[in-house]
């Protein structure tokens, strides 16, 4: 392709990058240097790093995001693996995607109905003799629902990685006398690791910033970075502080992307 | 034995994935007004839904935004993926990819807030156009991510062969590259559709002047207490998604079969 | 490739169809045309029958768009990409919008119903001469309890919420000014204090309430209280009125030692376009008959004295929602504090939420 052609192809995408990625990020960074009185200042950052509240909140969010990502991964990997072995696997994969088409708010409201005092879960607990429990507004229910929401986004990349796997490797491993477990541990899992990493990227950062669920399911007992941003932007109107936390999130995002980035090109696995 | 374990595991996972949705839809047929006790079968909530012209207009708007934005995002995203693979410098490619992923992983609130600041600066009135632009914007990266792996799989020798056979750039694109990456394009389009239908926060920020999408409307209605008309709506939406997914599956199967046949002819 | 193109064309055709259908449906629900009034209101905050009546009398069609917080409304109006003719902010937000030059002054010569308003709700500090605003509804902050779990008469004061009996039983409205204000009132302080020590003490007191807090949410409280999910809640009177209407086990108390008096007001944003429709609507809503009908539908207290007289005696004399003069005397309207002072409230409140 000629150089000029490449440029015309790149133009719409490049425009998008400039207008909707670089400009908004720049605006957020710019905004983070202003205080409530619209004066240029570094005070938002010093507040953030000196306040026990914000630091604790950050630690909390990271911990919850870690748990959500962990559980999502633990559930999703076997699911993707088993689906990949099925006969009509494309069909089953679509069934995994289907629930994501039902709006997240609707699902949250369904869970409110299920977890409430007179809800399905408590009816079940009463039925087996435990008696009704407080389920809604607990950390456990928050993690459960968040995991539920994220599962499809983890299954997809792992499934794709399994799909890209060359069956010749597995056959070779079997021919060399490796057990199923050995094949999995030394061949399948390492080769699907990029999928897992992509899944972690797709789940971890959104989990750091969940805000609807912390309120609807967690009853604002879990405060994440996302809750704080939402509150600063929409309620307290402290856009400067909100942007500062946003910048922290962007930095966290870059760190996660570096940690989970593709190293395979150096590794040189044949494709 | 192992097969059985796999099946039981999958059954449990799918049961959990679908439980809340079935729960919602089941109560759309309940005569009661809350989601705690089932009170006997009725179509009443569906009747209310279909006579609610405001709601129907909003559904049409939502679908319009979803389809149109997904279409445009797929176009731009595919071009973007093509140009990313064309870049020869590793640093450029890596930084392009990083920039691409920024919107993928940014929290919705930040995307929404920054777009709002952005539109305000440009003095663009809020409404259909701003919602459409925002949806296109946050759908592009997922399209790129879905198309890129396909492009990477495409062997250089295939392209060289086509070029040696005298294919022009245009022919190369339409006859070789696009057909090869079309599964990625379809997947990208579908993911874009999913993102659009699922979005709440971004739309919430950038909408105005009476324009509303389903999730914003649900948010404002559901906060006034549970309303089973919304359950009926999720029933309809689910049926609709089921039809779409069925159609997609059918198209995919058909194309796969054709490809297989071709392969058989070649070998 | 051909298939791809035909697919794209097909999708575009569907889009066209959807655009047409959406437009057609919107037109049939009457939201386009020139004889309109764009009202930016809280959700479910006006009797829809009044809108029909207004259209019949004046032939102006009212488009209602809703917001869920003063701040969200402020952001949208300040952004300027919208054209609302009337909005309904609370008192502190009126002051804030006024300062940001987002409001048009009212033309008093065109208002016919001013006499109907109760002077108690006019000329308050947020708009001393009612140059920009007319009161729409007013109310209080108080405690809702469910008599199936809480013995009537045992909860009368803010302090009662701190009792060890109510572990994990109280739902709080997610609002910094209100919850900090509640703690301040329980300590006998003004809900408008800007003294950092007093605020710090209030935050420490709130932290002791944390074990009793079941959740800090917003509109959902209505649903949960109606469904007997929690025995106690701190919420606004208007929300309480709706809960009480749906569940007769619920009761509302305004602590007599002091609480908040809030007033929601009709204002005209700078970007308004339909001058005539605006004044027609303001005068329509000031008519006692209409204001009374609206108050009966919405369930909040009306600042329209003539309208209050038209309400059934049972409503008019209900001290839960029209408190007696002594309690009324102890109520405070939130003063519009400076951004830094509001920031202090918000930071301390966030700290409290972190301690859950």
Question: The domain spanning residue C115 has which CATH number?
Answer: 3.40.190.10
Domains of chain A: 49-223 (1.10.3720.10)
Answer for the pair C170, C234: CB distance below 8 angstroms, yes or no: yes
Answer for the pair B148, A194: CB distance below 8 angstroms, yes or no: no
Alpha helix segments (H runs only) across chain B: 2-27, 44-50, 53-86, 90-105, 108-122, 128-153, 156-164, 169-171, 178-198, 201-206, 214-222, 228-266
Place of tokens 């930095």: A251
Considering the domain architecture, whether residues C329 and C201 belong to the same structural domain is answered as yes
> Is C4 inside a domain boundary?
no
Distance separating alpha carbons of residues A196 and C120, to the nearest angstrom: 65
Answer for the pair B72, B234: CB distance below 8 angstroms, yes or no: no
For residue A115, the chain C residue with the least C-alpha distance is C229
Percent of chain A clearing pLDDT 70 (strictly above)? 93
State the pLDDT at residue C293.
95
Distance separating alpha carbons of residues C317 and A200, to the nearest angstrom: 60
CA distances from C77 to B110, C132, C281 (A): 20, 16, 20
Considering the domain architecture, whether residues C146 and C168 belong to the same structural domain is answered as yes
Answer for the pair C302, C292: CB distance below 8 angstroms, yes or no: yes
pLDDT, one tens digit per residue, over C127-170 is 999 999 999 999 999 999 999 999 998 999 999 999 999 998 99
| Cβ-defined contact of A152 to B17 (cutoff 8 Å) | yes
> Is C19 inside a domain boundary?
no
* Cβ contacts of A154 on chain B, cutoff 8 Å: none
Q: How many CB atoms lie within 10 A of CB C156?
A: 13
> Is C124 inside a domain boundary?
yes
State the pLDDT at residue B262.
63
Considering the domain architecture, whether residues C304 and C224 belong to the same structural domain is answered as no
> Is C86 inside a domain boundary?
yes
pLDDT, one tens digit per residue, over C4-24 is 788 888 888 888 888 888 877
Assign C111 a pLDDT band (cuts: 50, 70, 90). very high
Considering the domain architecture, whether residues C97 and C130 belong to the same structural domain is answered as yes
Contacts of C169 (CB under 8 A, 6+ apart): C149, C212, C214, C230, C231, C232
pLDDT, one tens digit per residue, over A116-147 is 888 888 888 888 888 778 888 888 999 999 99
Assign B265 a pLDDT band (cuts: 50, 70, 90). low
> Is C22 inside a domain boundary?
no
**Structure token digits, residue C21:** 């259908």
Domain count, chain C: 2
Q: What is the pTM of this model?
A: 0.85
Answer for the pair C58, C284: CB distance below 8 angstroms, yes or no: yes
Considering the domain architecture, whether residues C82 and C153 belong to the same structural domain is answered as no
> Is C187 inside a domain boundary?
yes
Answer for the pair C183, C202: CB distance below 8 angstroms, yes or no: yes
What is the domain range of residue C274?
34-138+263-316
C92 is in an annotated binding site: yes
CATH 1.10.1740.10 fits B53-225, yes or no: no
pLDDT, one tens digit per residue, over A52-75 is 888 988 998 999 999 999 999 999
Distance separating alpha carbons of residues B117 and B205, to the nearest angstrom: 10
Task: Check residues A167 and C186 and name the one with the higher pLDDT.
Answer: C186
Q: A131: phi > 0 → left, psi -120 to 50 → alpha, else beta; which?
A: left
Q: Is the pLDDT of residue A265 over 70?
A: no
Q: Which of A190-194, B48-52, C230-234 has the highest mean pLDDT?
A: C230-234
**CB within 8 Å of chain B, chain A residues 107-136:** 107, 109-111, 113-114, 116, 118-120
Min CA distance, A130 vs chain C (Å)? Answer: 18
Interface chains of chain C (3 or more CB pairs under 8 Å): A, B
Considering the domain architecture, whether residues C240 and C293 belong to the same structural domain is answered as no
Closest-CA residue to A256 (of B199, B143, B98, B140): B98
- Partner residues linked to C65 by β-bridges: C40
Min CA distance, C204 vs chain B (Å)? Answer: 31
Residue C210 in contact with partner chain A when CB distance is under 8 A:
no
Domain parsing of chain B, residue ranges = 53-225
Assign B212 a pLDDT band (cuts: 50, 70, 90). confident
Considering the domain architecture, whether residues C84 and C114 belong to the same structural domain is answered as yes
Considering the domain architecture, whether residues C163 and C302 belong to the same structural domain is answered as no
Best residue of C2, C19, C21, C22 to probe chain B, by most B CBs closer than 10 Å: C22
**Structure token digits, residue C41:** 């209101």
């Amino acid at each position: 392709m000629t150089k000029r052609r490449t440029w015309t192809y790149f133009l719409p995408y490049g425009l998008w990058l400039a207008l909707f990625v670089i400009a908004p990020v720049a605006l957020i960074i710019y905004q983070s240097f202003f205080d409530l009185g619209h004066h240029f200042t570094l005070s938002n950052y010093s507040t953030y790093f000196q306040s026990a509240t914000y630091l604790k909140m950050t630690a909390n969010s990271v911990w919850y995001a870690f748990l959500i990502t962990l559980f999502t991964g633990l559930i999703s990997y076997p699911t993707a693996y088993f689906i990949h072995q099925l006969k009509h696997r494309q069909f089953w994969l679509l069934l995994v995607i289907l629930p994501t088409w039902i709006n997240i708010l609707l699902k949250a409201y369904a869970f409110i109905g299920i977890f409430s005092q007179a809800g399905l879960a408590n009816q079940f607990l009463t039925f087996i003799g435990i008696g009704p429990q407080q389920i809604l507004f607990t950390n456990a229910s928050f993690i459960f629902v968040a995991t539920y929401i994220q599962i499809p986004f983890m299954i997809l990349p792992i499934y794709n990685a399994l799909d890209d796997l060359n069956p010749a490797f597995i056959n070779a491993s079997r021919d060399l006398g490796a057990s199923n477990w050995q094949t999995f541990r030394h061949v399948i899992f390492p080769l699907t690791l990029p999928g897992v990493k992509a899944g972690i990227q797709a789940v971890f950062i959104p989990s750091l910033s969940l805000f609807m669920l912390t309120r609807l399911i967690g009853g604002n007992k879990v405060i994440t970075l996302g809750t704080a941003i939402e509150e600063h932007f929409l309620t307290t109107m402290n856009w400067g502080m909100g942007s500062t936390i946003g910048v922290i999130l962007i930095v966290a995002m870059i760190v996660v992307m570096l940690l989970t980035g593709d190293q395979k090109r150096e590794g040189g696995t044949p494709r | 034995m192992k097969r059985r374990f796999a099946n039981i595991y999958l059954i449990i996972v799918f049961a959990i994935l679908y439980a809340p949705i079935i729960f919602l839809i089941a109560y759309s047929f309940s005569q009661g007004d809350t989601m705690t006790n089932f009170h006997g079968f009725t179509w009443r909530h569906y009747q209310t839904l279909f006579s609610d012209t405001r709601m129907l207009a909003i559904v049409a708007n939502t679908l319009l935004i979803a389809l149109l934005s997904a279409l445009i995002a797929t176009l731009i995203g595919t071009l973007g993926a093509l140009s990313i693979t064309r870049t020869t410098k590793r640093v450029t490619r890596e930084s392009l990819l990083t920039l691409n992923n920024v919107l993928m992983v940014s929290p919705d609130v930040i995307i929404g807030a920054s777009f709002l600041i952005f539109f305000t600066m440009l003095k663009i009135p809020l409404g259909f156009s701003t919602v459409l632009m925002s949806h296109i914007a946050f759908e592009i990266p997922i399209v790129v991510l879905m198309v890129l792996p396909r492009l990477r799989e495409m062997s250089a020798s295939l392209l060289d062969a086509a070029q040696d056979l005298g294919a022009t750039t245009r022919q190369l694109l339409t006859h070789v590259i696009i057909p090869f990456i079309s599964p990625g394009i379809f997947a990208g389009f579908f993911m874009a559709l999913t993102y659009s239908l699922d979005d709440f926060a971004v739309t919430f920020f950038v909408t105005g002047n009476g324009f509303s999408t389903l999730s914003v409307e649900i948010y404002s209605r559901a906060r006034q207490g549970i309303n089973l008309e919304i359950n009926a709506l999720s029933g309809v939406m689910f049926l609709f998604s089921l039809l779409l997914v069925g159609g997609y599956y059918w198209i995919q199967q058909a194309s796969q079969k054709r490809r297989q046949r071709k392969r058989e002819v070649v070998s | 490739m051909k298939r791809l193109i035909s697919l794209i064309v097909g999708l575009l055709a569907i889009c066209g169809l959807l655009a047409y259908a959406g437009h057609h449906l919107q037109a049939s629900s009457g939201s386009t045309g020139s004889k309109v009034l764009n009202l930016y209101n809280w959700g479910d905050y006006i009797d829809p029958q009044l809108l029909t009546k207004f259209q019949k009398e004046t032939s102006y069609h009212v488009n209602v768009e809703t917001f869920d917080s003063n701040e969200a409304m402020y952001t949208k109006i300040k952004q300027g990409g919208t054209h609302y003719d009337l909005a309904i902010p609370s008192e502190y937000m009126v002051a804030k919008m006024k300062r940001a030059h987002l409001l048009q002054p009212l033309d008093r010569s065109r208002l016919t119903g001013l006499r109907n308003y109760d002077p108690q709700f006019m000329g308050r500090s947020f708009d001393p001469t009612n140059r920009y605003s007319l009161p729409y509804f007013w109310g209080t902050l108080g405690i809702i309890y469910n008599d199936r779990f809480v013995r009537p008469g045992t909860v009368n004061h803010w302090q009662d919420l701190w009792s060890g009996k109510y572990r994990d039983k109280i739902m709080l409205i997610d609002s910094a000014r209100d919850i900090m204000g509640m703690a301040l009132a329980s300590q006998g302080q003004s809900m408008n204090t800007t003294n950092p020590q007093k605020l710090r003490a209030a935050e420490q007191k709130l932290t002791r309430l944390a074990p009793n807090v079941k959740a800090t949410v917003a509109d959902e409280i209505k649903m949960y209280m109606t469904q007997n999910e929690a025995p106690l809640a701190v919420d606004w009177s208007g929300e309480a009125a709706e809960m009480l209407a749906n569940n007769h086990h619920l009761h509302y108390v305004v602590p007599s030692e002091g609480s908040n008096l809030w007033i929601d007001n009709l204002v005209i944003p700078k970007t308004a376009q339909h001058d005539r429709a605006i004044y027609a609507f303001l005068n329509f809503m000031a008519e006692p008959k209409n204001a009374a009908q609206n108050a009966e539908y919405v369930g909040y207290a009306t600042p329209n004295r003539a309208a209050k007289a038209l309400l059934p005696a049972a409503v008019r004399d209900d001290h839960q929602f029209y408190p007696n003069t002594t309690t009324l005397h102890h109520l405070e309207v939130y003063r519009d504090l400076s951004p830094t002072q509001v920031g202090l409230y918000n930071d301390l409140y966030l700290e409290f939420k972190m301690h859950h």
